[in-house]
Amino acid sequence: MADERSSKLLITFVVFLVLFNYPLLSIVDQKTLILGFPSLYFYMFLVWALMIFVIARIVRQRKKKP
């Protein structure tokens, strides 16, 4: 369903807009390391990768159900 995919993409945009923003960022804005990575750096790239994964999943659904 095109409509369903559209709304999923819109939700993705909104959710990640919040995730990439204050005040959530202030939680990880610390001089600490997580698994050897700076917490902010770790968080940013993790959420970024997650977002790419989510977009890819949503887009791929279309291929399965043409």
Partner 1 sequence: MGLSVIIGCSLAYISLLFLIAWWVDRRSAERRPSIVNSPYVYALSLAVYCTAWTFFGSVGRATTGGLSFLGVYLGPTLLAPLWFFLLRKIILISKNQRITSIADFISARYGKSTNIGVMVTLIAVLGIVPYISIQLKAVTFGINTLTHFGEVAPSTKPHFWLEAGFWVTIAMALFTVIFGTRKLDPNERHEGLVAAIAFESIIKLVAFVTVGAFVTFGLYGGFSDLFSKALQQPETAKMFTFEESGVNAFSWNMLMFLSLFAIILLPRQFHISVVENTSPRHISKAMWVFPLYLLLINIFVFPVALAGKMAFGAEINPDTYVLSLPLSQGANWLALFAFIGGFSAATSMVVVEATALSIMFSNHIVVPLLIKTRLLGQGKDLVDGASRLLDIRRVCILLMLVLAYLYQRSVGSTYDLVSVGLISFTAAAQLAPALIGGLYWKRGTHQGAIAALSIGFVVWAFCLPLPSMAQAGIISRSFVDNGLFGLPFLKPYALFGLSGLDPITHAAFWSLLLNTWFYVIVSVNTRSSMLNLTQADLFVNINKYIGGQDSDILKREAKISDLRVMLNRFLGEQRTIALFREYETSNQVLLENQKVAQADLVNFAETHLAGAIGAASARLVLDSVVKEEVITMEEVMRILEQTREAVEHGRLMEAKNTELKTLTLQLTTANEQLKNLDRLKADFITTVTHELRTPVTSIKSLSKIILDYADELSEPQKREYLQILVTESDRISRLINQVLDIEKLQSDEAPLSLEPLDLGDLIQKAVTGMSQMFAEREIQVRLQGLDQTLTVQADRDRMVQVVVNLLSNALKFCRSENGQIEVVLKQQGNWAVFSVRDNGLGIPASMQQMIFEKFTQLHSQATGKPQGTGLGLFITKSIVEKHSGSIRVESESGHGAMFEVRLPLHATEK
Alpha carbons 24 and 35: distance in angstroms, whole number: 20
Q: Can residue 44 be called a binding residue for partner 1 (CB under 8 A)?
A: yes
* Tokens coding 33: 């390391």
Q: Can residue 31 be called a binding residue for partner 1 (CB under 8 A)?
A: yes
Contact call for residues 5 and 47 (beta carbons, < 8 A): no
* Tokens coding 5: 């995919």
Q: Can residue 46 be called a binding residue for partner 1 (CB under 8 A)?
A: no
Name the residues that contact partner 1, by CB under 8 A.
Answer: 5-6, 9-10, 12-13, 16-17, 20-23, 25, 29-31, 33, 35-38, 40-41, 44-45, 48-49, 51-53, 55-56, 58-59, 62
